[in-house]
Amino acid sequence: MKKIIFTFLVFLLIFTTTACVKDRPSILFNKYPITAKNIYDYSSVFPVNSRIYYVILMPKKVESRYLYIQIVKKDNDYGQFGYKLIQTRDVRLKDEEINYFTDYFVLNEKGYYFMRVYSKDNPHKIFASAEFYVAK
């Protein structure tokens, strides 16, 4: 009887302490316009003055249907703790863009960048984030 209770407690402990992986929002970058065929051909290094295509994948529906996108450059030459805000954009999701949003941007300086996406539902919490490099 003690072995059965001990085994039950071990399984209960395993199921309550293991982490479950849930779907999270993500950002994928590509050198070419994103389609269903090349969505998995993502990259993180891009040449200067080229189009950087991206897709924001959202497993859950965003209730307010507005996203706030920031592109930030990390460099120690700037006085604001090494961060320079390069580009910001407010986006309204269309009816067909409930679970994704795709677009492109162009950067003309080499360096290390990251993109942050915020939802207007909770503007203080980062919805999705990704890093990429622009090289010569």
- Structure tokens that stand for 48 in this block: 């200067």
The rounded distance, in Å, linking the Cα atoms of 104 and 51 is 6
DSSP string, 82-100: TEEEEEEEEEE--TT-SSE
**pLDDT value at 94 more than 90:** no
The rounded distance, in Å, linking the Cα atoms of 31 and 79 is 31
Residue ranges and CATH numbers for the domains of the chain are 22-135 (2.60.40.1930)
**pLDDT value at 99 more than 90:** no
Please, are residues 43 and 31 in contact by the beta-carbon 8 Å criterion? yes
- Residues 38-73 have pLDDT tens digits of 888 888 999 999 999 999 988 877 777 889 999 999
Most confident of 31-40, 56-65, 127-136: 127-136
Q: Which of 107, 116, 93 is CA-nearest to residue 53?
A: 107
Please, are residues 96 and 8 in contact by the beta-carbon 8 Å criterion? no
